[in-house]
Amino acid sequence: MHIDLLFTPVATNELFFRDKNVVVIDVLRASTSIVTALKNGAREVIPVESVENAVKVSGSLFGDVVLRCGEREGKIIPGFNLGNSPYEYTQDAVQNKSLIFTSTNGSFAMVKAKFARQIIIAAFVNIATVVDYLVDLNEDFVILCAGKEHLFCIEDAVCGGMIIQQIEKKIADIQRTDAAVAAQVLYKHFGRSIHKMLRNSEHGEYLISIGFEEDLKACATVDNVPVLPVYEKGVIKLRRAETTASN
Amino acid sequence: MHIDLLFTPVATNELFFRDKNVVVIDVLRASTSIVTALKNGAREVIPVESVENAVKVSGSLFGDVVLRCGEREGKIIPGFNLGNSPYEYTQDAVQNKSLIFTSTNGSFAMVKAKFARQIIIAAFVNIATVVDYLVDLNEDFVILCAGKEHLFCIEDAVCGGMIIQQIEKKIADIQRTDAAVAAQVLYKHFGRSIHKMLRNSEHGEYLISIGFEEDLKACATVDNVPVLPVYEKGVIKLRRAETTASN
């Protein structure tokens, strides 16, 4: 099994992902919020790159079965239903709704990987579920960290490293790129306190400064939202077997 | 002192570097070869992005006081005088010569940073000299890792982390971006055997496969070429004080 990892989506072009298995990570907070929303009964999440596109895609259905969600500079977009805090994506708010979702880094990364064979959405909250799936799949894959405004961010790297670390325990023969090796080293260093790592990260500090300190706790929690969101044909849903099981 | 670090030049635009102090690292092998060339008496090194530009810039002076140098896919460019192995840049080969230099990652990174206030060329071979200079300067700076074909490479990250680690011992108050923190963690992990890290790196493995195993030893050696190359106005030279001292 060959494992690659990208610290930011900007270093590659879209066709890089063609026919690959891709795991997209945006711990703070898009991945965490999307995982939470689907766990809480959202029908689907549709990631789009721009606010304009979110408005266009939601169209006249806006406010009924379709919610506009996401953030710019960490804050809810004016006129939208939900921001990017996982605490907003409650069952009351999202059940049976289609969520049009745009965030600065997460949805950009997801859309960038659109030519992939399949795209899995991962965060600390669903990491064991993601690992189990990848181990069963037993194919090469690429971890795509959303990063922060095209640059490296520590929390996505550590989450990617944690996935690799857990897979290494279950699969004997893995080859890793330099970036995958580095992410694993970063996980070994920071994994003891993910919450502390988030608090000290650049984006974590920013989120605290604008009032989202509690979000860091939600995003640091490991495996309390054990679902597997899959992004295909423009839509993120829970993997079919799980959807059936939970209904 | 604020320390930033970029794992690849591709994530930013050229104006990002305006008015900044920039340290460019391409351990395997451009930085190491350029440092070596200047120590061995080269008059100057002129980094260019393309083979075509190297031919154009050297013009009719080619082969006399001007040498064409560099690599593509790790190998000397057909018709050029020197490749990218530090062992080629002997006093006999380079003394009093102007070297037009193009490499896949290193010269790309150097040219990308051209709007910087100043650009320092760093590798393991001159790391203490670079650190001493930055400590004396006592200003914010950015470490720009050349990376590998727009992606992360471990050796430049570890070298950047080593610079930060050494500066932290001498300057009490430093702030670091996520990437700077990560590079320092990687240095702490891999710093005990830089040669081994290079041998296990993606690019190190490739260089071994095409016959440059010995180059890894040269590139892993710490502080045996204690000079400070500065890139300004399109030309890399030793910092003036050192040039004077060595003449």
Task: Write the CA distances from A30 to A206, A242, B82, integer angstroms.
Answer: 15, 21, 49
HSE-CB for A229 with a 13 A CA cutoff: 33
- Mean predicted lDDT score pLDDT of chain A: 94
Q: Is residue A239 domain-resident? A: no
Q: What phi and psi, each to the nearest 5 degrees, are found at residue A47?
A: -80, 135
Which chain A residues are Cβ-neighbours of B142 within 8 angstroms?
A: none
Q: Tell me, what CATH number does B185's domain have?
A: 3.90.1560.10
Looking at residue A153, its pLDDT comes to 97
Please name the residues in contact with B232: beta carbons below 8 A apart, sequence gap of 6 or more: B118, B119
Which chain A residues are Cβ-neighbours of B197 within 8 angstroms?
A: none
Confidence band of A63 (pLDDT split at 50, 70, 90): low
Looking at residue A242, its pLDDT comes to 52
Q: Is residue B247 domain-resident? A: no
Q: Is residue A26 domain-resident? A: yes
Q: Is residue A247 domain-resident? A: no
Confidence band of A64 (pLDDT split at 50, 70, 90): confident
Asked if the interface predicted TM-score (ipTM) of this complex is over 0.85, the answer is yes
Domain that includes residue A61, residue range:
2-233
Cis amide bond preceding A68, omega within 30: no
pTM of the model: 0.95
Point out the residues of chain B with pLDDT beneath 50. 243-247
Looking at residue B247, its pLDDT comes to 40
In Å, how far is B21's CA from the nearest CA of chain A? 19
Pairwise CA distance, residues B122 & B229, whole Å: 8
Mean predicted confidence (pLDDT) in A46-70? 88
Determine the 3-state secondary structure of B75 from DSSP. strand
Residue B7 sits at the chain A interface (C-beta within 8 Å): yes
Please answer yes or no on whether B6 and A151 come within 8 Å at the CB atom. Answer: yes
pLDDT tens digit sequence for A210-221: 999 999 999 999
Q: Does the pLDDT of residue A62 top 80, yes or no?
A: no
Please answer yes or no on whether A182 and B154 come within 8 Å at the CB atom. Answer: yes
Looking at residue B240, its pLDDT comes to 72
Q: Is residue B241 domain-resident? A: no
Please answer yes or no on whether A185 and B181 come within 8 Å at the CB atom. Answer: no
Looking at residue B245, its pLDDT comes to 42
Q: Is residue B184 domain-resident? A: yes
Residue A208 sits at the chain B interface (C-beta within 8 Å): no
Looking at residue B213, its pLDDT comes to 98
Mean predicted confidence (pLDDT) in A152-180? 97
Which chain B residues are Cβ-neighbours of A177 within 8 angstroms?
A: 202
Q: Does the pLDDT of residue A36 top 60, yes or no?
A: yes
What is the number of structural domains in chain B?
1
Determine the 3-state secondary structure of B67 from DSSP. strand
Please answer yes or no on whether A178 and B202 come within 8 Å at the CB atom. Answer: yes
Please tell me which residue of chain A has the smallest CA distance to B157.
A182
Q: Is residue A238 domain-resident? A: no
Q: Is residue A46 domain-resident? A: yes
Please tell me which residue of chain A has the smallest CA distance to B151.
A11
Looking at residue A245, its pLDDT comes to 43
